[in-house]
Structure formats: C-alpha cells, structure tokens
Structure 1
Amino acid sequence: MTNENISSVRFDPDDICRRLKKLRKEAELTQEQLADKIHCSRENISNYERGKNTLSFDSLVEYMNVFHVSADYILFGIEHESNNMKSTDSVAYLIADLEALIQKYICKGR
C-alpha cells in the first residue's frame, strides 16, 4: 500500500456492517449458520450487521478465520493482493495476543 492509499483510508462503522453482511451473503450463510461458526448468538450477528454492537477482538478473529480475509478488509475495506490463510492466521494470533495484553495491563484496574 502506498502513502497515497494510506491517507485515503477512513474508519466507517457503517461500512464494516455492510462488509460483514456481504461476507455472510456471499458465503450463502444464514445468520444462524454464521453464529454457529463464530460461536455467538444469531442476535449478535444481526446486531453486528445493523451496527447495534461492535465487533470484539474475538469476533473479529472469528470472522477473519471463517471468511479468510484480513482485519484490514473487515475494518477498512482494504483488499490485499495475496490474502492467503498463512498471513491471516498471523494477524489473528497478533490480535489475540494484543487482546490478552490489553486485558492483563490496561483493563486490570477496572
């Protein structure tokens, strides 16, 4: 990605909702089927797709693994030339490690 592309990237929660629904529809999954795959309720899937709930790190990783996409795609719509599972797995592990660190050091005092 070039510097020009980086400056045009913006975070839009509505776009995330649309991408989540698009991924599910393209995979021809119902909300219930997807919920089973990512270990949550159908209501959570519906809420993610309508923007009522935001994705947790765990759910983000589950979406990445089920649909074989990067966090960049889900969060920002950035498609990488090579979206192979190996790089997706690496990102998933990094996000999981980051969540553990956040829980351990930042959320500890709550």
Structure 2
Amino acid sequence: MSEQMNQEQLESIMGLIIHAGNAKSDAMEAIQEAKQGNFELAEEKIAQAEKSLNEAHHAQTGLLAQEASGEAMTITLLTVHSQDHLMTSITFVDLAKEIIDVYKISVRD
C-alpha cells in the first residue's frame, strides 16, 4: 500500500473490486438460468447484479469525493484494476440482459 493511500481509499478500492466482481458473477449466472429457460430466476440474478453495480458505484463515488475535496489520491495498479473491473462488469451486465432477451425470444418462436 502506498504511503499516500489511506485505509479509507483502500477499502473503497477493494469494495469496488468485490462488488463489480459479484455483479459479473450474478450476470453470468443469469445467462445460465435463461439458457435453461428459468427466466424468473435469470431476472432475479440480473437484479442482484444491478444492486452490486450500485454498490460498486458508491465505492467509486467515495473515491471521487475524496479527491474532489482535495485529498491526494495515489493512482496504483490496484486503483486502475478496480476501475477496469467496474467497466467490464457494467458491460457484462448490459450484454447479459440482451442475451436473456434473445433466449426469451427463441422460446416464443
């Protein structure tokens, strides 16, 4: 941990990674449920994924607020990794929703 990275920043970064990872995992489970025709469970998993994304955004907002208030933020590989995790998870959840819709259409046809 960098000398300038305080405990609060580290906790925010780790929270971002954890919640973004949970969102991606839930989205993958949602796709698997849709693949099996379990659309209600797939939608529940997507809702969980969106909740995790919201928590990740809160962690990110905490970091942004600290920096905006003048608190120095050291950019480390861990910081970059956390942002990468968030952006990947957002994209993955969006794509999972589309894939679930495709499965729903294929069942109707």
Structure 1 length-normalised TM: 0.31
Which structure shows the bigger proportion of residues in helix conformation? 2
Structure 2 length-normalised TM: 0.31
Greater relative contact order, per chain length (Cα 8 Å cut-off, separation 6+): 2
Structure of larger gyration radius? 2
